[in-house]
Chains A and B, each alone.
Chain A
Amino acid sequence: MKFPFISSGLGILLMSISVVVSAAPMGFKNSWMLMGDFSKTYQEFGLNYATTANDAFGISASAMQTDNSVSKQQNFEAVYTRKLARWNMPEAQANIWFIGGLGSTTGNTFTGSKAMASPGIQVDYETTRFYSMASARFYAAQGATSNITTARLGASFYEADYDEPQPWIVVEARRMTFVSNQYEFTPMVRVIHKRYFVEAGANLSGQLRFNFMYNY
């Protein structure tokens, strides 16, 4: 089930990115980050390497399709991730991220392959018990431009020790203009345990969703 766009004000607020999975989109210096985001209408698989505490370079392959599977598009990109700002507080952390992709796109709504650029931004704020994020990413190609805007709110069941798995409930509102101009809402269970990050849920139409991140 899809819901109409909530309000234009919220839409403007959410002008930041859809990154794979939507937690920190890169790991610590000299680490690899493997990411995946899978649902019926959107699948993305990405890998990046953090050369500094603020920069990561990687690749991404993503595919979008409409609910009825009539329109489809596939994107292949080299992706640069930059931590633009971080605020470290005693009990919280906030970030602004830039994510930019350059690559090509193919699809069944146009012929051949087109050059594509996909700039985006993500902002997030989290504590040990609360999580919030807003993002937007634009997939710009001649005659085939779309965007994805996302917002997330989450709460943890309890404050976990470093060595313990920590479960969360996260609710996501996501609009992919390639699929629809309406927002889809997806409640998910998230579990974080050191280098592992997984999320699973289903949107209000019952379409399954699975995300993961692995940092090493």
Chain B
Amino acid sequence: MKQLNVIIAIALMGLSQMALASVKVTVNGMVCSFCAQGIEKSISKMDETKAVFVDLKNKVVVVEAKEGKTLNEKLISEEIKDSGYDVVKIETIPQTVAQFRAQQKDKK
């Protein structure tokens, strides 16, 4: 029973790590890559950012953190606003940027 508890605890820790893999931001006003590139550029410069994906079709931006770093959601929101857009929703998702992109491709 004790062993089972340890296994569950480790599994939950793993899930918890996965759940913090990326931040997904729903953004209003993103209509072309020429305008939206400011978002990618400014968020990529942030120290804790590993990868950024701008999804024009779904109007979301996905930001993945570097290992051991925590994304600052407030700072991400500010950068997006400074690029001229409105943040509608910000949430954590379990996927990495690569996984999210692959998931979107599969949907097509």
Contacts and interface: CB of A to CB of B under 8 A. Distances in A.
Contacts of B17: none
Question: Chain A contact residues: over half helix, strand or loop, or mixed?
Answer: loop
B59 interface: yes
B4 interface: no
Interface stretch (B8-16, B49-57, B69-77, B92-100): B49-57
A126 B35 CA distance: 11
A23 B88 CA distance: 25
Interface residues of A, number: 35
Interface string A99-125: 000000000000000000000000000
B28 interface: yes
A127 B32 CA distance: 8
Contact of B33 (A52, A83, A160): A160
A192 interface: yes
Nearest to A87: B29
B34 A53 contact: no
Given A28-B84, A29-B83, A53-B82, A128 B56 contact: yes
B59 A90 contact: yes
A2 B56 CA distance: 38
B66 interface: no
B34 A192 contact: yes
A77 B85 CA distance: 30
Given A89-B28, A90-B59, A160-B56, A53 B35 contact: no
Given A92-B29, A195-B34, 12 more contacts: A31-B38, A53-B81, A89-B29, A90-B59, A93-B31, A126-B31, A126-B32, A128-B32, A162-B36, A193-B33, A194-B33, A194-B37
28 contacts: A27-B38, A28-B37, A28-B42, A28-B84, A29-B38, A29-B42, A29-B83, A53-B81, A86-B29, A88-B27, A88-B28, A89-B28, A89-B29, A90-B88, A92-B29, A93-B31, A126-B31, A128-B31, A160-B56, A161-B55, A162-B55, A166-B33, A192-B34, A194-B33, A213-B34, A215-B34, A215-B37, A215-B38
